Amino acid sequence: SCNIVSSVVVGYYFFNTLYTKAEIFATYMITLGIFLGSIGDMKTITSNCCTGPAWESANEATAATRWSIGIGILTAVLFIQAFLGHIQDRYYRMYSRSNVSRKALADEFMLYSHIAALLPMAFLSNNLKEHWDILVATPTAFTFFNMPIPMGIFMVILNNITQSICISGVFALSASCSPLTVNITLSARKFLTVMVVLSGITTLVVSYRYLSIGFPTRGHGCIQ
């Protein structure tokens, strides 16, 4: 929701973007929905937030300072993302021609953004090596041409494949829609994802408790 609000603010005040009533209404509705959801989950958030030895030993002034710094960093990141989204949309308009499609520009943006993200990894080589060793030490998931594939490595590869599909879709969407439409679509996608997961969990619970459909526990690797 904050991504949507920051996109509207940056677009209106810095890029002279005008929004329709439908876009403003969608922004208000999504913001209100997330606000009500956050208020409803406040007890869980407050019980799990700001715990641990570092927070327990800190006084109120130190805790407030840390909280303020965190909120400030998150706010700065939101507006930087909004600026990048509008700049990207401006570049699409400037450089898309009859012989250069927006899809080609989106692929180029995605390539350079990933290259730029890889550069800081040079400063984290020791940390990357440490976690690579941890992943290699995980149990074997399966063998591929007589080569054992650790479960950790397999999960990382699977995550990268799904993330690649997801980010490709986001860049393709940004090439054909405004930044606000992209943010609204992503928020709606997150909502639908949550609803699908909740529906699946509800179906399993109802099947188990009320329809007497048991779960297989032996012979499928669940319980040995």
Measured in degrees and rounded to the nearest 5, phi and psi for residue 97 equal: -130, -175
Cβ–Cβ < 8 Å for 180, 23: yes
Q: How many CA atoms lie within 13 A of 190 on its CB side?
A: 10
User: How many angstroms separate the CA atoms of 89 and 83, rounded?
Assistant: 10
* Rg over CA atoms, the chain: 23
Prediction pTM value = 0.71
Tens-digit pLDDT string for the chain (224 aa): 678 888 999 999 999 999 999 889 988 888 888 777 767 665 555 555 655 555 555 566 677 788 789 888 988 998 998 998 999 898 888 887 767 788 888 888 889 888 888 888 888 889 989 999 999 999 988 888 888 889 999 999 999 999 999 899 999 898 888 999 898 888 888 888 888 888 888 887 777 776 655 545 444 444 43
Length of the chain: 224
For 108, residues 6+ apart whose C-beta sits below 8 A from its C-beta are: none
Q: DSSP string covering 85-153, please?
A: HHHHHHHHHHH--SSS-HHHHHHHHHHHHHHHHHGGGGGGHHHHHHHHHHHHTSPEEEEETTEEEEHHH
Question: C-alpha 140: how far from its chain's center?
Answer: 29
Reference 30, options 183, 198, 199, 194; nearest CA is 183
Whether the Cβ atoms of residue 208 and residue 217 lie closer than 8 Å to each other: no
Please give the single-letter amino acid code of residue 46: T
- Whether residue 187 contacts residue 30, with contact meaning beta carbons closer than 8 Å, is answered with yes
d(CA 107, CA 96): 13
Q: What angle do CA 67, 76, 165 make, to 5 degrees?
A: 110
Q: Compute CA 165 distance to the chain's CA centroid, rounded to the nearest angstrom.
A: 13
Torsion-angle region of 50 (φ positive above 0: left; ψ -120 to 50: alpha; else: beta): left
Residue 89 in contact with residue 179, Cβ under 8 Å?
Answer: yes
Element (H or E) spanning 145, and its range? none
